[in-house]
Structure 1
Amino acid sequence: MKKVIYIFLLFSSLVFSQNAEISKKDFYFLKGNIGTTPISMYLYIDDNNNLTGKYYYDTIKQVISLKGSINGNTFHLDESINDRIIGSLDGEVSSEMVFTGNWVSADKNNTFSFSFSLDNNYPINKIKIINAKLNIKDDNGSFESSRDAVIIENNKNAKAINRISLDIDETKSINEENIMETLNNLISSQYNTWKETINDKFNMQRNIEVSYIDENIISFSLYNYSYAGGVHGIYNVQPNIYLISTGKRIGLSVSELIDDVADIDLINLMRTKLTRNMSESDFFDFDSITLSDTFDITPTGIKFIWPAYKISDYAHGIIEIEFRYSELKPFVKEDSVFMYLFE
C-alpha cells in the first residue's frame, strides 16, 4: 500500500512539474553627448536585441523615453515624451558599447551627432536582469507567474556591490545558474500549489528596474502584483535604495530625508500636488494625509508613493507625486545622506 502511495505521489509530482521560460536583459548606464550637451542614459537590451530605456540632458533633467532595436552593429531608437515621438537616434554600436551616430528631430529640421558609452568612473554601470516566466491555460483556468532577479556586474569583486545584488531579490545568489534554478523552483512551487487547489486564476509578477544611479547611490523600483482569487489583485511599488560604498539599504523612512514632515509649507505643497489630477473628495480623509514613508529617487527629483487603499480607493490605484529637487530642498535634513542630491 505504501509503495502504491509513493508511486502516486511521484507521478503527481511529475505531472505537475513545469519549467519556467528564462530570459535575460542587460542594463547599461551610459554617459555622453548629443551635440555638445552632456546626457545620461539608462538603456536595456534584451535577448532579442530590443532596446528600451530613458535618457536626460544633464543640464535640463527632463526624462525622455527610448524604444528601438539593434541589428548587427547598427541601431535605431525613437525618443518620446508622453508617448509623442520627438526625435530619433540612428548609428552604430561597438563591441565595447560605444554608441555613435546622429540625432534627428521628428520634424527633420534639426540634426546633431552623438556619442555615448559606459563610464568606468561610476562603480556600477552594467546590470543583468534575469526573468523566469510560466504561462499556462487549461480547463482549470490560467496560471501566470513572472519574476525578475538581479546581478550587478562587479569586476573588482567589491563586497558592497555583491551585498546589493544579494539583497535586491530573494534568490540570495550572484551565480547566474543558481539564480535561474531558484527562480524556476519558486515558480514551479507556485504552479504545483495552484494545480492542487484548482483555482480558476493565478497571476503573480515581480518586475525590477533601475530608478536612479550615480556615484553614490543606486535605486531599484520593484513592481509587485498578485492575484489568487477574489475581486481584484493586490499590487504595489517598492523602492530599494542602496549606498554603493557600503551596500547598505537606505531610504526606509521619510525621517531619513525630511527634517519636519509636519512643516505646514511642505504639507501645503504636498496637497497642491495631490489635487493636481484628483479632487479632495477622492481621498479618504484629505486633511489627515501625511507625507508617505515610501519614496524613490529619480533623475528629476524625489517621488513619494502611497500604496493602493492607503489614502484613496482601489480605483485610484497607487498614488505618486514628485517634488523637484529645488522644491524639496528647504525641507531636507542638513545631515541627510541624500542632501548632496539637492546641491
Structure 2
Amino acid sequence: MSLFLTIRNIGLGICLGLAFVACGDSKDSESTAIEIEKLEKQAPQARDSHYVRELLGIEKETSIFYLLKGKVGGKEQIGYLLIEEHKPIAGIESDTEEIVIDSDDGEDSQPLPLYVYIVLPNVWNEELDHYEFLSIPIDSQKLFITKDEKGRLKISGEWKSELGSEFNNKDWEQKSRMKGKTFIFTQDDTMPLREVSFVNVKETQSLENPTQEDLPISFNSSYTRPIILASKNPMLDSKVLEKLNEQFAEGAKDTSELANKLALLTQKDFKKFQAEKYIVDTEYVNSYGVEFIDSRILSLQVFNYIYGGGAHGVYSTEMESYSLETGERLSNDIGDLLRLDGTNKDALLQILTQKLETPFYKELLFDEVLPLKALPHNFFITSQGIHFLWRLYEIAPYVAGEIDVMVGFEELKPFVNPNSPYAYLFGL
C-alpha cells in the first residue's frame, strides 16, 4: 500500500497533534531543539496554512511531495514529506478549530487547510505494521515550516500523534518507537528528483433518478496525478523529466495544464456514465502516491477504485516504477525481478507461507489457502525490501482488504535476477 494512503486510512482524516518538549539527554537531541528554537524566533508565523501556501507555492487542489534528510531524536534519517489539502470530516475531533469548507464552490472558495504527513522509509515498525510516521494539521500551530538561506524547505517539531479516534491514537502512542523525539528535516537537494507535485481534479454530478424522483443519482470521478516540475528539480535531466511527465502526467508542462487534462478525463467518464444510462450511484478514483525514491528509481503506487452499486466498491493497487536515468518505465512483472525456476519458486512460496502463518495474517485468510500454491502478481519496491501484495479475494475475503507481506532485501537476495533494474537494491 502507498505509504501516505495507508496513513490516511488509519483514521479517515488523521489529525496528529505535535507539541515541542525536551527529548532525551543526548547532545544531538539538545542541539536539534536549540536549532528549532532559533528557527521559531526567525519566522514565528511559519505555523499557518496561508503562510506555508505562499512560502511553498502550493495551489488549490494540489499537494507536494518532498524528499528530506535530517534527524529524529539526534539520529540521521531520510524522510518522505507530503503536504496536502485536507477537508475536515464530520465527527472527527481535532486540536484545531473545525473549518467546514466546500471545495466545490468554485474558484473563489476558501482554500482547504493544509496537512503534513512524514514517513521514515528506513524505519519499519513491526507493531504498527507500517513505517514510522506522523501527521499534523499545519494550523494546529504545533509544526514549524520555513526555508533556509539556500531556499530549501525546513520542517521541525516533535514526534507525537493524534489519530482522529481515541482507539487509533492510543494504539500509536503504545507502539511508536519515535514518540516524543524532536525532529528537524531539510529538503535533500543532492538528489536528481527532490520534489513531486500532485494535482487532484474531481467531477461531481447529481442526476434525476427515473425510478425514485426524491433520490437523485450521484456521479463522482476523481484523478490525482503526479507531475515533475523542472524549476523544482534542476538536477534531473530535462529529457528524462519530459519522458516521465509524458507517461504519468498526460504530457503536461505545469500543474495548470495537468489540471485541464485531468478535467477532460473526468468529463469523458461522465459522458460514458450518461451513455450507459446507469441508474445507481457511481464513483471512479484514480490516485497516485510516492512509494520509493532514490537517485536511480521513482516508484509510484497507483490506486484505482470503482463503485457501481451494491454493498461496496472494488479497488486495486499496483506499482509503476521509472528509471530516473532514462525515464523508461520499469517492469513490474515479478518474473523479471526474481529467478523463479522450480526450486526457487518453491522456496519463495515457503517463505511467504511462513509469514502468512502468523496470527496477524492467518485469521484473515480463506481456509485452505496455506500453504501457498501460487505467487502474487503484485509487488512494491520500498527502501527496506519487497512488499508482496495479493488482490481482493485472491487469498482473503473483501473485509480483509489486500494482503501485504514484506520480505527484506537480504532474505530475497538468493532469488534476484542480476539483470533486473532493481538488482542494485539487493547489493548485486
Structure 1 counterpart of 2:153, which letter?
A: V
Alpha-carbon distance in 1 for matches of 2:206, 2:269: 15
Q: Of 23, 27, 33, which aligns to 2:71? A: 33
Aligned match of 1:119: 188
Asked if 1:46 is matched to 2:84, the reply is yes
Alpha-carbon distance in 2 for matches of 1:111, 1:313: 38
User: RMSD of the TM alignment (CA)?
Assistant: 3.0
Tell me: CA distance 1:275–1:251, structure 2 relative to 1, closer, same or farther (3 Å). farther
Structure 2 counterpart of 1:162, which letter?
A: E
Aligned match of 1:129: 198
- The two structures have a TM-score, normalised by structure 2, of 0.63
Structure 2 counterpart of 1:36, which letter?
A: G
Asked if 1:184 is matched to 2:184, the reply is no
2:300 touches 2:319 (CA, 8 Å); kept in 1?
yes
Asked if 1:223 is matched to 2:303, the reply is yes
1:25 is displaced (CA, Å) by 0.8
Q: Of 137, 141, 150, which aligns to 2:226? A: 150
Alpha-carbon distance in 2 for matches of 1:269, 1:213: 27
Q: Of 265, 285, 305, which aligns to 2:347? A: 265
Alpha-carbon distance in 2 for matches of 1:261, 1:50: 49
Q: Does the residue aligned with 1:268 lie in a helix, a strand or coil?
A: helix
Tell me: CA distance 1:51–1:41, structure 2 relative to 1, closer, same or farther (3 Å). farther
Alpha-carbon distance in 1 for matches of 2:180, 2:268: 53
Alpha-carbon distance in 2 for matches of 1:49, 1:231: 32
Q: How many residues are treated as equivalent by the alignment?
A: 304
Aligned match of 1:66: 134
Structure 2 counterpart of 1:191, which letter?
A: F
Alpha-carbon distance in 1 for matches of 2:265, 2:160: 46
Answer 1 or 2: which has greater strand percent.
1
Aligned match of 1:55: 119
Q: Which moved more, 1:221-230 or 1:201-210?
A: 221-230
1:261 is displaced (CA, Å) by 5.6
Structure 2 counterpart of 1:65, which letter?
A: F
Greater RCO structure (CA 8 Å; 6+ sep): 2
2:288 touches 2:300 (CA, 8 Å); kept in 1?
yes
1:143 is displaced (CA, Å) by 1.0
Aligned match of 2:246: 166
Alpha-carbon distance in 2 for matches of 1:41, 1:186: 33
Aligned match of 1:19: none
1:284 touches 1:312 (CA, 8 Å); kept in 2?
no
Aligned match of 1:214: 294
**CA-to-partner distance for each residue in 1:49-89, whole Å, 9 max, x for gaps?**
5233332275x454212211334xx963xxxxxxxxxxxxx
Q: Does the residue aligned with 1:282 lie in a helix, a strand or coil?
A: coil
Over the matched positions of the two proteins, sequence identity in percent amounts to 23
- The two structures have a TM-score, normalised by structure 1, of 0.77
Q: Does the residue aligned with 1:180 lie in a helix, a strand or coil?
A: helix
Structure 2 counterpart of 1:150, which letter?
A: P
Q: Does the residue aligned with 2:190 lie in a helix, a strand or coil?
A: coil
Q: Does the residue aligned with 2:138 lie in a helix, a strand or coil?
A: strand
Matches within 5 A, 1:198-209: 198-209=278-289
1:254 is displaced (CA, Å) by 1.2
Unaligned runs of at least 5 residues, structure 2: 1-59, 86-111, 126-130, 162-172, 210-216
2:302 touches 2:319 (CA, 8 Å); kept in 1?
yes
1:102 is displaced (CA, Å) by 4.4
Tell me: CA distance 1:265–1:279, structure 2 relative to 1, closer, same or farther (3 Å). farther
Aligned match of 2:91: none
Q: Does the residue aligned with 1:327 lie in a helix, a strand or coil?
A: helix
1:118 is displaced (CA, Å) by 1.4
Alpha-carbon distance in 1 for matches of 2:222, 2:415: 39
1:195 is displaced (CA, Å) by 3.8
Unaligned runs of at least 5 residues, structure 1: 1-21, 77-89
Alpha-carbon distance in 1 for matches of 2:258, 2:132: 32
Alpha-carbon distance in 2 for matches of 1:33, 1:280: 37
Structure 2 counterpart of 1:298, which letter?
A: T
